[in-house]
Structure 1
Amino acid sequence: MTHLAKFYPSDFSETDVLALDNQLQTYIVDMCSNDEFLELKGIGVLARKMVETNKDVIYPLVYLLVKLVLTLPVATAIVEISFLAMKYIKNELRNQMGDQ
């Protein structure tokens, strides 16, 4: 997981990445011993449960990483839609130029 944090240098400094490694080790032990977290289905449910149990405050770097992972599909979709729109616009302009 710390490898993923390195893709977000504006959110995780080098010190944060080291602290995240320590937080993750503690977080994993804590979650495995907590019955509330054993049966969760999906990362969205995990994020919600972290907020409900104040684990987002205890493990802020882990929670930040979870939030970033949750927004990744949305950001990717927006970029793909933008490129699709640009492709459409470029093709329309080329077709209009060819007709003239």
Structure 2
Amino acid sequence: MEDKIISTEELAALLGKKPKTLYNWMNKGVPMPPSYRIPGVRGSRFLMSEVMAWIKKFAVPQAGAPAAPTEAPRRGRPRSAHNVAEVKS
């Protein structure tokens, strides 16, 4: 099976970023998957297998079920008598 070659724009769409962000990362030296320059083709190209391996390096292992979100205390002045009672108790 041949490895799919994707463009910077396709990589950006895969990551949910704008292509400009990826170009900035490349210029700043942010670790990126290996890129290839193909003669006669504008821009860098990436091998999908190397992109997926790069993404897996940053995966955070999840232990068990995700924790239920807790409601943060509200900030600011209470707006109603009900909220005032909550704050005092």
Task: Please indicate the TM-score interval, normalised by the length of the shorter structure.
Answer: under 0.3
Q: Considering Cα pairs closer than 8 Å and 6+ residues apart, tell me whether 1 or 2 has the greater RCO.
A: 2
Greater share of residues in helix: 1
TM-score scaled by structure 2?
Answer: 0.25
TM-score scaled by structure 1?
Answer: 0.23
Larger Rg, first or second structure (1 or 2): 2
